[in-house]
Structure 1
């Protein structure tokens, strides 16, 4: 084995260590450099590993690097968000790209009792690391992990182009929260749950949100008299939704993402706080 693959410091190694047993079949979404692919080959055996890479040039380089490390797993050039059933059912699906929602095809390719482990990233830049187990009724559920781990986002999950941010349009009122709270990683992720189609930016002391699909906008800035003023325009009151989510999270003690979980069914993908019966938000279809 190439010595460069022996280190336990690389973040992907912590995912590899979660795999139980040497007979597990793993589908990796995103071969990348081939580093984590080689780690899994060394741990589980090359016959157990199938890895899919979207970019053909990246796949060629990865194949060469993996071969130089002494391994020959199943390597595929294609879209890992779609079906690849050749070696299914898989015991583990591990994504080395970030996704906005769980692709339905992943649910079909993992056996009952198998797991899906993936970083999740949204259009406001909030991230969480999901670890789900597939159940007999075809659903998957689990908690987000404590690891602060994410990768390049799958191309089809990237946001649309964002229009210029415009200030002070629409109805004005006092804000119930300090917009600077969105500089906290977990708070940003919670806000994103409330308005998953919105994009977020700052300009000097003003916080902007815009939902391209509906034309809804909001901006929040300090009020000279104290506090903050929010302006909202469009069919969705974006800041109203953000406030409610942040206040709910604060009321629960401001837990990390690992205090939340995700349940995926054929009809919806629902993030819940505390337990499946707690406050929840649906991810976009």
Structure 2
């Protein structure tokens, strides 16, 4: 049994790959869609990634192509002088299988696949539903061209387009299903407008604080809200137009200093806590920083809302009177601690207990357990 066949057998045995999709995975092997050049995380490299080519390292390349792991296929939007941020990838096969299962397609359904990437997901959809049922859109013209070439060589011919996936694609609308392989902070109204009532949208969804949810949304009738649940914990690259802001430095104006009422480690206790906190602190993003002169004593979480508010909390001696610094109209660390307290009071709900309602005007409301229990 070759490595890819073993991967599919393992996924099937684990319950990640159902029989309804097994044939599609066999007919569209992942390796046919992995570029000859990929990127490997490497702490010794200046950008944190090293280039790996199929020609120079065939054994390592094939091991990556047939592994149940992410393969980074682009960094820094394809530029050569970026900071080393992964911007395109081939997702974990088990996660691809899970998302396709939640899409719940049937013969005759049409699908808009947003974020073509390598083209593998589009190939799987074509294999299951037929070429004419699949439209795929990619914002990066170079990535799109390479994917279209790989799809054609593998014998698949979906409708391939280049454009901003947030706008959907009216050419094939309305669709029965929309499948996104990039995360959003706000589900675009265009996706709802381009999906048949009763149709399904599956997309990664997150906040600047926690990019963590997989949303399965059922589109409402015209003039009615759409409802969905978060069905899993995933972390995907952001839609380019919805990437969160960079964490800024201290803002101008008076700075308030205080002790922290909780250990900062608890603000990221687990994905469930982070997800619940992120919902309640709109626009807030964090990063970790330290001073080289004293990494342990100065290690801290820095927060900003992309506007005028900023905060910093030190991990060491977090209960000292100078551990927390806050400035701007919002007290961001106070918001974080209050949000976590709410999560505790609710019994530490898991991510999959949350859901979302989208009103006809596009307003998003996240709720706990049922639509009648919105999270503030």
**TM-score normalized by structure 1?**
0.88
For each residue in 1:100-133, what CA deviation from the matched residue of structure 2 results, as whole angstroms up to 9, or x when unmatched? Answer: 1111111100111011110013322432111110
The CA deviation at 1:201 is 1.5
Answer with 121-130 or 88-97: which moved more: 121-130
Count of residues in Structure 1 that have an aligned counterpart in Structure 2: 277
In the alignment, structure 1 residue 196 sits paired with structure 2 residue 282: yes
* 8 Å CA contact 1:48, 1:73 repeated in 2: yes
For each residue in 1:7-34, what CA deviation from the matched residue of structure 2 results, as whole angstroms up to 9, or x when unmatched? Answer: 8961212222332311111111110000
Instruction: Give the match for residue 87 of structure 1.
Output: 172
Q: Matched residues in 2 for 1:20 and 1:211: separation?
A: 39
Alignment of 1:163-178 (within 5 A): 163-164=248-249, 170-178=255-263
* 8 Å CA contact 1:126, 1:186 repeated in 2: no
For each residue in 1:41-93, what CA deviation from the matched residue of structure 2 results, as whole angstroms up to 9, or x when unmatched? Answer: 11111111111011111111111111122111111111111142121111111
Instruction: Give the match for residue 100 of structure 1.
Output: 185
* 8 Å CA contact 2:211, 2:236 repeated in 1: no
In the alignment, structure 1 residue 54 sits paired with structure 2 residue 139: yes
1:141 counterpart SS class: strand
Q: Matched residues in 1 for 2:245 and 2:315: separation?
A: 29
Structure possessing the higher radius of gyration over alpha carbons? 2
Give the unaligned 5+ runs of structure 2.
1-26, 33-65, 69-92, 290-297
2:167 counterpart SS class: coil
Q: Matched residues in 2 for 1:135 and 1:195: separation?
A: 28
2:170 counterpart SS class: coil
CA pair 117-3 structure 1, distance change in 2 beyond 3 A: closer
* 8 Å CA contact 1:165, 1:208 repeated in 2: no
Give the unaligned 5+ runs of structure 1.
none
For each residue in 1:193-233, what CA deviation from the matched residue of structure 2 results, as whole angstroms up to 9, or x when unmatched? Answer: 222212201234322211222x1112223575957843322
In the alignment, structure 1 residue 128 sits paired with structure 2 residue 185: no
CA pair 5-142 structure 1, distance change in 2 beyond 3 A: farther
Identify the structure with the greater strand proportion: 1
The CA deviation at 1:154 is 0.9
Q: Matched residues in 2 for 1:86 and 1:8: separation?
A: 36
Instruction: Give the match for residue 247 of structure 2.
Output: 162
1:202 counterpart SS class: strand
Answer with 249-258 or 190-199: which moved more: 190-199
Q: 1:24 aligns with which of 109, 128, 139?
A: 109
* 8 Å CA contact 2:114, 2:168 repeated in 1: no
In the alignment, structure 1 residue 208 sits paired with structure 2 residue 292: no
In the alignment, structure 1 residue 186 sits paired with structure 2 residue 269: no
For each residue in 1:217-274, what CA deviation from the matched residue of structure 2 results, as whole angstroms up to 9, or x when unmatched? Answer: 1222357595784332211121222222211111122122111111111151111122
| Higher RCO structure (Cα 8 Å, ≥6 apart) | 1
Q: Matched residues in 1 for 2:256 and 2:121: separation?
A: 50
Identify the structure with the greater helix proportion: 2
Instruction: Give the match for residue 350 of structure 2.
Output: 256
Tell me which stretches of 4 or more aligned residues in structure 1 moved more than 4 Å.
5-9, 222-229
Instruction: Give the match for residue 247 of structure 1.
Output: 341
* 8 Å CA contact 2:273, 2:340 repeated in 1: yes
1:86 counterpart SS class: helix
Q: 1:235 aligns with which of 314, 324, 329?
A: 329
CA pair 105-171 structure 1, distance change in 2 beyond 3 A: same
* 8 Å CA contact 1:119, 1:130 repeated in 2: yes
CA pair 65-200 structure 1, distance change in 2 beyond 3 A: same
